[in-house]
């Protein structure tokens, strides 16, 4: 503030010349007009080429004009700004296209009939049929995986945060990190190697085991973060009252962080729901309804999408079903995400801030 009084001269003498605020828009409009002119004159048909020419003209034009008026450094700054914006817009295009095509094509056959019937008597190339068997299979496999992975993951995180000292906890931390990066197909191959040993046929629970391997490290990581957020004062207060440590953990630590833990588990469920590769190896897929995850091949939603795509020999009906199943899967995953985030916000531990 006080420096302003020391330099009573007008600010204009200290500042370089600046381009007016509307200049980027003007340059953009000019380069688009020029690109259209070049495109028409040169007889270029592809609109993509027109866009590229316009983009190049814009970058060159901005650099030249800004260098002339503001100097080289400002010109570089403007180039960087426009490149960052271009990168952002570039990334939006495929993602918007993905969402748009899934919704637009998926809604064609997605109805109550589709959700409540199986592919039992429908050939892959014919219209009709549905995904009831696949939804059932996915829910059972993911449910069993959660029943296995969630308790183990939460208990491991409790060990790491509340008890863990020394080598064992270091080793666990390291290998949890390593496990997070296991490709899903490798987890599938591991269970497959077990099944080959015992000469077993594909069944739903085998898929659950592979999904549980993928889910455990994610649960450990997120639960660990949440437990670390619980203030130590709460633990100390409880212990000072003579409460045993295990009751302190069950009655004080876990209730305080339960919102975050639930969120973490739901996000990891969302992650494994979309896993296709292990299910492809271990559960095999089935056109009929099989409600027993412990015997016989089962269907699964992501696998259904793949098989409709792969077995259809270009039939439009199968592609429609694949899109509709994709939409169902995305809707389910997004719903889990939104609910999880809602819980996180609702039950967020009150930190000092």
Partner 1 sequence: MGTPTQITDAPPPAPQPSLDKRAARGATRPGDRIFLGLSRGSGILLLVVMAAIAVFLTYRASLAISKDQGNFLTTFQWDTNLVPPNFGIAVLAFGTVVSSIVAMVIAVPVAVAIALFLTHYAPRRIRGPIAYVIDLLAAVPSIVYGLWGALVLVPNMTGLFGWLNDYFGWTGVFSWEGGAPRSMLTVGILLAIMILPIITNVSREVFRQVPQMHEEAALALGATRWEVIRMAVLPFGRSGVISASMLGLGRALGETMAVATVLSPTFDIQASLLDPGGGTFAQNIASKFGEATEFGRDALIASGLVLFVITLLVNGAARAIIARRKEYSGANA
Q: List the interface residues with partner 1, window 71-100 (CB under 8 A).
A: 73-74, 76-77, 79-81, 83-85, 87-88, 90-91, 94-95, 97-98
Stretch that binds partner 1, among 23-31, 35-43, 267-275, 344-352 (CB under 8 A): 267-275
Report how far residue 303's alpha carbon sits from residue 274's, in angstroms, rounded to the nearest whole number. 9
Handedness of CA 188, 190, 196, 200 (dihedral sign): negative
Indicate whether 180 belongs to the interface with partner 1 (CB under 8 A). yes
Indicate whether 265 belongs to the interface with partner 1 (CB under 8 A): no
Q: What is the contact mask toward partner 1 in residues 269 to 298, using x (rule: CB under 8 A)? A: -xx-xxxxx--xx-----------------
In the complex, minimum distance from the CB of residue 253 to partner 1, in angstroms, rounded to a whole number? 12
- Please name the residues in contact with 245: beta carbons below 8 A apart, sequence gap of 6 or more: 162, 239
Exposed/middle/buried for 324, CB within 10 Å: 0-12, 13-18, 19+?
buried
Tell which residue, 135, 302, 152, 313, has the closest CA to residue 220. 152
- 187 interacts with partner 1 by CB under 8 A: yes
Q: Where are the beta strands (DSSP E) in 142-258?
A: none
Q: Minimum distance from CB of 76 to partner 1 (Å)?
A: 6
* Closest to 288 measured CA to CA, from 83, 104, 122, 78: 122
Provide the β-strand partners of residue 284: 298
Q: Applying CB under 8 A, which of residues 32, 103, 330, 343 lies at the interface with partner 1?
A: 330
Among 6, 48, 240, 241, binds partner 1 (CB under 8 A): 48
Residue indicated by tokens 């637009």: 104
Whole-angstrom distance, CA of residue 67 vs CA of residue 73: 8
Interface pick for partner 1 out of 23, 67, 102, 315 (rule CB under 8 A): 102
Q: How far apart are CA 204 and CA 194, in angstroms?
A: 15
Nearer to partner 1, 226 or 267 (CB): 267
Residue among 58, 114, 132, 323 that touches partner 1 (CB under 8 A): 323
Options 10, 12, 166, 242; binder of partner 1; rule CB under 8 A: 166
Residue with smaller CB distance to partner 1, 246 or 292 = 246
145 near partner 1, rule: CB under 8 A = no
Give the interface size with partner 1 as a residue count (CB under 8 A).
95
Among 42, 183, 255, 342, binds partner 1 (CB under 8 A): 183
Whole-number Å distance between alpha carbons of 92 and 100: 12
């Amino acid at each position: 503030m006080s420096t302003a009084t020391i330099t009573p001269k007008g600010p204009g003498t200290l500042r370089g010349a600046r381009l007016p605020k509307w200049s980027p828009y003007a340059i953009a409009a000019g380069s688009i007009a020029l690109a259209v002119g070049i495109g028409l004159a040169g007889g270029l048909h592809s609109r993509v080429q027109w866009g590229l020419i316009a983009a190049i003209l814009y970058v060159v034009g901005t650099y030249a004009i800004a260098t002339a008026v503001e100097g080289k450094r400002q010109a570089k700054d403007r180039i960087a700004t426009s490149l960052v914006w271009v990168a952002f817009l570039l990334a939006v295009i495929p993602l918007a296209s993905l969402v748009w095509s899934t919704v637009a094509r998926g809604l064609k056959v997605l109805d109550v009939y589709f959700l409540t019937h199986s592919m039992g008597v429908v050939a892959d190339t014919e219209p009709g049929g549905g995904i009831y068997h696949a939804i059932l299979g996915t829910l059972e496999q993911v449910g069993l995986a959660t029943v296995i992975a969630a308790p183990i993951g939460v208990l491991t995180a409790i060990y790491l945060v509340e008890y863990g000292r020394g080598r064992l906890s270091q080793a666990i931390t390291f290998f949890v990190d390593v496990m997070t990066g296991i490709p899903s197909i490798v987890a599938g191959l591991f269970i497959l190697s077990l099944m080959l040993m015992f000469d077993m046929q594909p069944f739903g629970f085998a898929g659950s085991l592979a999904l549980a391997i993928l889910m455990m490290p994610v649960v450990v990581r997120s639960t660990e973060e949440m437990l670390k957020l619980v203030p130590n004062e709460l633990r100390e207060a409880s212990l000072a009252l003579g409460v045993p440590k295990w009751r302190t953990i069950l009655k004080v630590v876990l209730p305080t962080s339960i919102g975050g833990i639930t969120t973490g588990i739901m996000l990891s469920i969302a992650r494994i729901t979309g896993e296709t590769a292990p299910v492809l190896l271990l559960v095999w897929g089935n056109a009929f309804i099989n409600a027993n995850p412990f015997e016989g091949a089962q269907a699964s939603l992501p696998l259904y999408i793949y098989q409709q795509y792969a077995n259809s020999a270009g039939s439009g009906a199968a592609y429609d079903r694949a899109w509709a199943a994709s939409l169902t899967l995305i809707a389910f995953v997004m719903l889990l995400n939104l609910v999880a985030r809602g819980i996180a916000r609702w039950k967020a531990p009150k930190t000092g801030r």
